[in-house]
Amino acid sequence: MAEGGPSPAILRLSRLAPLTTPDMAALTSALSERRELRAHRELLAEGREISAPRLIVSGWAARVRLLTDGRRQIMSLSLPGDLIGMCRQPRPLAVSTVVALTDVVHCPAPAAHSLPHLADAYAVSQALDEAYLLSQITRLGRLNAEERIGDLLLELHERLTLAGLTDRGGFNLPLTQEVLADALGLTSVHVNRMIQLMRREGDIEWKARRVILRDPEMLARRIGRMPPRVTAEKGRG
Amino acid sequence: MAEGGPSPAILRLSRLAPLTTPDMAALTSALSERRELRAHRELLAEGREISAPRLIVSGWAARVRLLTDGRRQIMSLSLPGDLIGMCRQPRPLAVSTVVALTDVVHCPAPAAHSLPHLADAYAVSQALDEAYLLSQITRLGRLNAEERIGDLLLELHERLTLAGLTDRGGFNLPLTQEVLADALGLTSVHVNRMIQLMRREGDIEWKARRVILRDPEMLARRIGRMPPRVTAEKGRG
DNA sequence: CGGCCATTTGAAGGAAGTCAAGCGTAGTGG
DNA sequence: CCACTACGCTTGACTTCCTTCAAATGGCCG
């Protein structure tokens, strides 16, 4: 996918904790076992037993819950470098369905038993996952539609930057407004109206799946957003 | 609190994974180091470094986030037997403030290095925590006010039952409607109206902090609620 | 060109919020 | 014993935000 640089997935992990040569070797070896999954297919099914943790190499996935009457909620988005199905209890069951939103490439997440730095990266990644779940809760519970959109875009910008997937202040957003609405607890109609409003107000540029935040810091200040920090170690997290 | 039986906290953990004598010994020894915290005081402050994980022995706490303009969101509730501040990354920072909603008794969560069963119980507990965060997201994103209240009450009933804190189909709910509203992403006025509606419809009894669900199974079916399962092991989870 | 899907727009309705006041009750102090 | 207070619950009138339903527009690809 990315030409020239390292895989965004590995880049991200190496930024969560400093990785050593054996860590990188394990990751690149895992990458050789990569598999492709088409959009709309499931990586994990809620209630089914989880086999082994996987790493998203490229593409976007989502943890979704479907209500009996067809309502759908996207609980979190999984981006390149994110882990899927990482748990420590015996015979774990998936607590949510994970579905590919785009074509997704994934590979095994190498076991970290004898790789303490990789284990740290996993731990930081998991802590960040939790932090983003908490943000999602606050977003849905206490922000209005415009704030929700801005907040989510800021989060995505931040996460994609960590994986080296932003450029010139913008990023590729391969989601329909329908999907966005399911993530934001809104209807696609209302998402559309608010996006247009934000365009008119000059907060965002958004054309052909590419989003540019005009002034991220200002936007963040306006909606009171704080990027999560999960470790006091120097390496970001 | 509980007369005669084992501590609700220990009861809960022992139900998440079968505990052996040394596990119980570690827990009872930890209980002797219990400390009391008054309502409204913080157990953990967002962004501050976490020292050691703690176990809620009695009382209710909440993970909260405060917005700059005073809006407040309760992201999750912590009940007896729940763990606080459990993470594996080096030098972890708290991702949320945890505040006591009632007077709370807490004690150290004993290290599980050489206690595999206790480690299992912790892992299951953490997986359940995540599952409840996901439920909270769906609740806020896709349920209407009445459904949210019913769904939360069902969750609490379920969790309190695990700790042996329910009786005669009901339980003690030491929360004001204001606090409930902050957990449900609503206003206290609207929570009040909906509670009265549910009372009139015969779904719940609610008087003097005591709640009784008239027909939990029926209610659960009506709002499409499924209790989370996180492990395929026989011991519940 | 035609079909399909995502986006856009309009009009109308409904769920939840806001503001403000009235109760009820438990606790406090004279 | 009775103000007096404080806090949580309750109610009413009005507003706002978001949804619903329906149709139109626009782009992309076979």
Q: How many CB atoms lie within 10 A of CB A224?
A: 16
Which secondary-structure segment (H or E) carries B178?
A: helix B177-184
Task: Judge whether residue B46 contacts strand C, using its CB and a 7 Å cut-off.
Answer: no
Q: Six-digit token pair at B89?
A: 């990354």
B161 Cα to chain A: minimum distance (Å) = 21
Query: What is the spatial distance between Cα A66 and Cα A233, in angstroms, rounded to a whole number?
Result: 38
**Nearest residue to A67 via CA among A44, A43, A97, A39:** A97
Strand C and chain A: which residues 125-164 have CB closer than 7 Å?
Answer: none
B14 Cα to chain A: minimum distance (Å) = 14
Q: What is the pLDDT of residues A37-66, one digit of tens each?
A: 999 999 999 999 999 999 999 999 999 999
Chain A CB contacts of B130 under 8 Å are 95, 130, 133
Q: Which amino acid is residue B93, in one-letter code?
A: L
A117 or B233, greater pLDDT: A117
**Nearest residue to B122 via CA among B81, B155, B158:** B81
Nucleotides of D strand lying within 7 Å of any protein CB atom:
7-13, 17-22, 28
Return the SS3 of B7.
coil
Q: What is the pLDDT of residues B12-37, one digit of tens each?
A: 999 999 999 999 999 999 999 999 99
Q: Is the pLDDT of residue B82 over 80?
A: yes
For the segment A105-112, the average pLDDT, to the nearest whole number, is: 98
Using alpha carbons, list the distances in angstroms from residue B141 to A228, B26, B144: 21, 41, 9
Q: Please, which residues have CB within 8 angstroms of residue B186's CB and are 6 or more apart in sequence?
A: B145, B148, B194
End-to-end CA distance of chain B: 24
pLDDT confidence tier of residue A5, bands split at 50, 70 and 90? confident
Q: What is the pLDDT of residues B94-137, one digit of tens each?
A: 999 999 999 999 999 999 999 999 999 999 999 999 999 999 99
Q: Six-digit token pair at B163?
A: 């700790």
Cβ of B65 under 8 Å from any chain A Cβ? yes
User: Which nucleotide has its C1' atom closest to residue B207's CA?
Assistant: D9
Cβ of B231 under 8 Å from any chain A Cβ? yes
Main-chain dihedrals φ then ψ at residue B65, nearest 5 degrees? -130, 135
Cβ of A52 under 8 Å from any chain B Cβ? no
B236 Cα to chain A: minimum distance (Å) = 12
pTM score: 0.96
Query: What is the spatial distance between Cα A127 and Cα B129, in angstroms, rounded to a whole number?
Result: 13
For the segment B152-177, the average pLDDT, to the nearest whole number, is: 97
Task: Judge whether residue A67 contacts strand D, using its CB and a 7 Å cut-off.
Answer: no
